[in-house]
Amino acid sequence: MLFFWHYVGNRFLTTFSNMMTNLNLADMETCYKVFRADLLKRLRLRSNRFGFEPEFTLKVARLGCRIYEVPVSYHGRNYASGKKITWKDGFSAIGCIVWYRFFD
């Protein structure tokens, strides 16, 4: 079950991230990320929780790395099934996007 407002929030965060990175990602918040170990060694990652995706995306874009998206299957969860994200995490992600774009 995909909640409507979670979908809207995800689309907004992805669009905002794309604007700040000049990328054209379909889903910045996908959580599934694969990369070479040498790339990871070049990044100084500080975020935890839901700040990881914006930080990683902004820093990889800054390095000019190619990003490939591969479709994944997704079945939404409800809070009883373990969904943890709330509107507060969305505002935190916006802050991370701005911080890592302009100040880090």
Condensed to tens digits (0 to 9), the pLDDT of residues 60-98 reads 999 998 888 888 887 666 666 666 778 888 899 999 999
The count of domains in the chain is: 1
Integer Cα distance of 33 and 92 in angstroms: 20
What does the alpha-carbon distance between residue 98 and residue 92 come to, in Å, rounded to a whole number?
A: 10
Token readout for 49 is 């929780």
Q: Which residue has the tokens 């990881």?
A: 52
On whether the CB atoms of residues 11 and 53 are closer than 8 A, the answer is no
The domain of 77 spans 4-102
Across the range 8-22, mean pLDDT stands at 94
Question: Which residue in the block uniquely carries the two structure tokens 């990369």?
Answer: 35
What span, in angstroms and rounded, lies between the C-alpha atoms of 77 and 75? 7
